[in-house]
Amino acid sequence: MSAVDVPTRVPVVVIGGGPAGLLLARLLALGGVDAVVLERRSRAHVMSRIRAGVLERGTVETLVEAGVGDRMDHDGTVHDGVGLAFGDRHLRIDFAGLTGRGVMVYGQTEVQKDLFAAVDAAGIPVVDCADDVRPHDVDSDTPYVTYVHEGRQHRIDCDWVAGCDGSHGVSRTCIPPTVLRTYERLYPFGWVGVLSETPPVDAELIYAHHERGFALCSMRHSMLSRYYVQCSVDDRVEEWSDDRFWDELSARLPGEVAARLVTGPSIEKSITPLRSFVAEPLRYGRLLLAGDAGHVVPPTGAKGLNLAVSDVRYLAAALIDAVRHRTTTGIDGYSDRALARVWKCVRFSWWLTTLMHRFADRADFDLRVQEAELDYLAGSEAAQRSFAENYVGLPF
């Protein structure tokens, strides 16, 4: 969008045009609150990013309420369970039977596409390729945001700034070190991931624990599969040929699963490092953080996008109350409310990561405890219900 189409004052400036930022702008518009979205990347770049595709029930309901659920309902696939493979066992956790709910498999790229269509149709200003975005005076009652677009600097005055610009964005850096507290756990491995135009190896996701390392079998649809294997944190993607990847994946799956594996050329390949990170608080004056700007989880538990959506759901309601009804009760409680759910999801993602991966520096004792926990999970309905409740999503 051309900068001339952007108002110089709005109630809310949203920094970041990923799913969190666009969903927030959409929910605000439905609540009668105007916003401008500033995104430093091009739309083509944003649309090219390959991300997770497991949506919790609360996320599905929020997207439907936002009016962007039609394609998801038509093209997405509901999964009522998930597989855990260890040794030569293939344990199925029955989500539907244990919780009465399942998850929706629908790629984040598709969610992004749906959100772009909705904000465009609603006329919500989205400035792509916005350089040098900087919030100012967020600790005052008169914040504003500056940015450079097509070589010219612009300013937008606002009441609130929503930082939805990811873990490397500018928003979190505006919180003084004397106020910001951060918590981080770095994992000594990564995932090499492959996207291939092949049928999935199973109708549901499979998480595999193996002496050679972790593996995950997932999918986007009936002819697009997404697979991952644990790798060294120092590996480079060029070191992983397609043949090496398929051989390693097959070796880490139970025999009966590996026998169904259909291989083919990769159409996308990348290495993802794993970490857990939380910043507190998620509010500083008139600045509010949501999604990866405030927290990052390893992809093991499929919580990243879902946490962003829960943040945005809380934040949208709080901002609508602040702008339309002149009450900051929701804003005042936003950080604590969001972080309470964030930490529960951080715990689950950490637990599943430590349960399913091999740690090179761990003693035999730790490995035996890991195996015992998997065996306990296989034989305990209570343990499986706890797993299912966390995986399908805690209440929003």
CA–CA separation, 390 and 233 (whole Å):
27
The single residue of 209, 210, 303, 357 carrying the catalytic annotation is 303
- The Cα 22–Cα 376 span in angstroms is 42
Residue 378: closest CA among 260, 148, 209, 251: 209
Token pair for 183:
């918590």
- Find the catalytic residue in 144, 187, 207, 228: 207
d(CA 114, CA 277): 28
113 included as an active-site residue: no
Does residue 187 have an active-site annotation? no
Verify whether residue 227 is a known catalytic residue.
no
- Burial class of 103 by CB neighbour count within 10 A (0 to 12, 13 to 18, 19+): buried
Radius of gyration of the chain measured on its C-alpha atoms: 22
Catalytic residue list contains 344 = no
The residue from 125, 299, 334, 357 that is catalytic is 299
Cβ neighbours of residue 33 under 8 Å, at least 6 residues apart? 11, 12, 319, 320, 323, 324
- Out of 147, 227, 314, 391, pick the active-site residue: 391
Q: How far apart are CA 37 and CA 48, in angstroms?
A: 19
Catalytic residue among 11, 19, 79, 284: 79
Phi, psi for 352 (deg, rounded to 5): -65, -35
Q: Catalytic residue at 325?
A: no
Active-site positions?
79, 207, 299, 303, 391
